[in-house]
Amino acid sequence: MKVTVVRAGGVAGMVLTVEVDTGELDADATAQLTGLVDACEFPDVPPAATKGRADTFDYELAVEREDGAVRRARFGQGAAPPGADALVTWVLDGPHGHRRIGR
């Protein structure tokens, strides 16, 4: 399973992409990530839009399963669907991700 978080905007206006692949994680980290993914909702209807607030962050969260199925959510800061904030924080702030700045 591969989890990718794109964070863009902010006062810097930079695009940060962080990717975590369970193929590179130990069993504990894989269990943590799987639990967070299972607890995360990917609503068909996006959460209430927060677009238009200057310099807040916008996010894209994508989870690609081994069978190739991809679930994706896009949301603004403060409008994450249930479970998404915890998953995004684990990916962005944890030590497991491959980080890249750029569009």
Partner 1 sequence: MSDVSGTLTAVISCRCEIAPPSLLLRVAERGGRDARDAALRTLLVSAALRSRRTALGATLRRFGLSPADLEFLPAQAPATGPENTVYDAAGGEEEALPGRRVRGTDDPPTGDAAVDQAFDGAAATATFYREVFGRDSIDGRGLDLVSSVHFRRRYDNAFWTGDQMVYGDGGGGVFVPGGLTRSLAVIAHELTHGVTQFSAGLEYRGQSGALNESFSDVFGVLVEHRAGYVDAASASWLVGEGILDPSLGGALRNMIAPGTAYSGDDQPADMDAYADLPADDDPRNDNGGVHINSGIPNRAFAEAARTLGGRAWETVGPIWYEVLTGGRLAPTADFAACAALTVTVAGERYGESSAQQDAVRGGWEAVKVRLPADPR
101 vs 103: CA distance, rounded Å? 7
For the CB of residue 69, give the shortest distance to partner 1 in the complex, in Å: 20
99 binds partner 1 (CB under 8 A): yes
Among 23, 52, 68, 95, contact with partner 1 (rule: CB under 8 A): 52
Asked if 55 touches partner 1 (CB under 8 A), the answer is yes
Among the listed residues 11, 27, 45, 69, the single contact to partner 1 using CB under 8 A? 11
Mention every residue, 6+ apart, whose C-beta is less than 8 A from residue 36: 83, 86, 87, 90
Q: Out of 26, 54, 67, 69, which residue is the one contacting partner 1 (CB under 8 A)?
A: 54
Tracing tokens 């978080």 back to the chain, one arrives at: 5
C-alpha to C-alpha distance for 12 and 25, rounded to whole angstroms: 31
Asked whether 19 and 6 are in contact (CB, 8 A), the reply is: no
Least Cβ distance, residue 53 to partner 1 (angstroms): 7
Q: Using CB under 8 A as the criterion, which residues of the chain lie in contact with partner 1 when the complex forms?
A: 6-16, 46, 51-60, 74, 77-78, 92-93, 99, 101-103
